[in-house]
Amino acid sequence: DIQMSQSPSSLSASVGDRVTITCRASQRIDSYLNWYQQKSGKAPKFLIFAASNLQNGVPSRFSGSGSGTDFTLTITSLQPEDFATYYCQQSYSFPYTFGQGTKVEIK
Amino acid sequence: EVQLVQSGAEVKKPGESLKISCKGSGYSFTTYWIGWVRQMPGKGLEWMGIIYPGDSDIRYSPSFQGQVTMSADKSITTAYLQWSSLKASDTAMYYCARHGGYYEIDYWGQGTLVTVSS
């Protein structure tokens, strides 16, 4: 299985801050990397596919980058509704594993 | 509008069997992989496996192979996840998940909470 590792596991940030979350794969996955947002008690929400492509309706303050083994999710100007847990997932090979999640909390 | 609507919460005893469902609508059910994701209480997301309703091809995660059975009935556009003998460690929220063209999960069900307790 491909292992996905996110860092940090949690972070505290203020409204308006720029936030970067890193996701690393245990082997090369080209650009088969997706990002999801999950708020407490809710189903995850799809944000980004193929490393850098925003799902329709996702605000442009979200962006993704990377290829191979190293990827980032960036939120420019954090908004109150962005406080949540973020997961990366590889869809390069079965099983399509998730990272352990990064919880973004209010400072 | 694409929708995945899951069956309701379940409370079961260890050793009992269970089958939960996920009804897809608003898209061609037979041409997208649909799968299941487990989230144990307070934990992260775990990808369990996927099924292609068009031909019932199934890919299980090794972690779940032999522990659950996935199936789909394309005549009623519904996917299923079943257990033959539940354990307390099966207590979790289970999400059904449509996989898009890049195998990203582009639509999620609302989740089915399964509680296994004696």
- The pLDDT assigned to A91 comes to 97
**In Å, how far from its chain's centre is CA A84?**
11
pLDDT at residue A79, as a whole number: 96
Task: Count Cα atoms within 13 angstroms, Cβ side, for B75.
Answer: 0
User: Which residues in A have their CB inside 8 Å of a CB on B?
Assistant: 1, 32, 34, 36, 38, 43-46, 49-50, 55, 87, 89, 91, 94-101
pLDDT bin (cut points 50, 70, 90) of residue B17 is very high
Q: Given the DSSP bridges, would you call strands B69-73 and A53-54 parallel, antiparallel or unpaired?
A: unpaired
**Mean per-residue pLDDT over chain B, rounded:** 97
Gap between the Cα atoms of A67 and B64, Å rounded:
29
Share of chain B above pLDDT 90, in %: 98
What mean pLDDT do residues B30-50 have? 98
Q: What residues in chain B have their Cβ under 8 A from chain A's Cβ atoms? A: 37, 44-47, 49-50, 59-63, 95, 99-100, 102-111
Q: How many CB atoms lie within 10 A of CB B71?
A: 15
Token pair 């083994």 is found at: A69
Residue B30 bridge partners (DSSP): none
Residue B116's pLDDT is what? 98
Distance CA A67, CA A69 (A): 6
The neighbouring-strand residues paired with B23 are: B5, B78
Q: How far is B79 from chain A (nearest CA, A)?
A: 18
Chain A nearest-CA distance from B101, in A, is 10
Give the residue from B20, B2, B8 showing the smallest Cα distance to B98. Answer: B2
Omega of the bond leading into B53 within 30 degrees of 0 (cis): no
- Six token digits for residue B5: 């609507």
Q: How many other C-beta atoms can be found within 10 angstroms of the C-beta atom of residue B28?
A: 10
pLDDT at residue A107 tops 90: no
Chain A residues with CB inside 8 Å of B47's CB? 89, 95-98
Report pLDDT digits (tens) over B44-86: 999 999 999 999 999 999 999 999 999 999 999 999 999 999 9
